[in-house]
Amino acid sequence: MRHRIAAIQMCSTDNVATNLAQAKQYIQQAVEDGARLIVLPENFAIMGLHPEDKVKYKEVFGQGMIQDFLHQQASQNNVWIVGGTLPLAVPQYDEKVYASSLVFNDVGECVARYDKIHLFDIALHAEKEIHQESQTISPGQNIIVFDSPLGKCGLAICYDIRFPELFRAMQEKGAELIVLPSAFTVPTGKAHWDILIRARAIENQVYMIAAAQTGVHANQRKTYGHSMIVNPWGSVSAVLKDDRGVVCADIDLKFLHQLRRDFPVLNHKKYM
116 is catalytic: yes
Alpha-carbon span 229 to 247, nearest angstrom: 8
Number of residues that this document lists for the chain: 272
158 is catalytic: yes
Q: Confirm if 257 and 232 have CB atoms less than 8 A apart.
A: no
- Beta pairing, strands 236-240 & 151-155: unpaired
Q: Of 58, 96, 116, 152, which residue is the catalytic one?
A: 116
Q: Confirm if 183 and 154 have CB atoms less than 8 A apart.
A: no
What residues have CB less than 8 Å from 138, skipping those under 6 apart?
90, 93, 96, 97, 98, 115
Q: Of 11, 153, 158, 248, which residue is the catalytic one?
A: 158
Q: Of 42, 59, 133, 176, which residue is the catalytic one?
A: 42
Q: Confirm if 26 and 53 have CB atoms less than 8 A apart.
A: no
Q: Confirm if 20 and 72 have CB atoms less than 8 A apart.
A: no
Q: Any bridge partners for residue 155, and if so which?
A: 179
Active site residues: 42, 116, 158
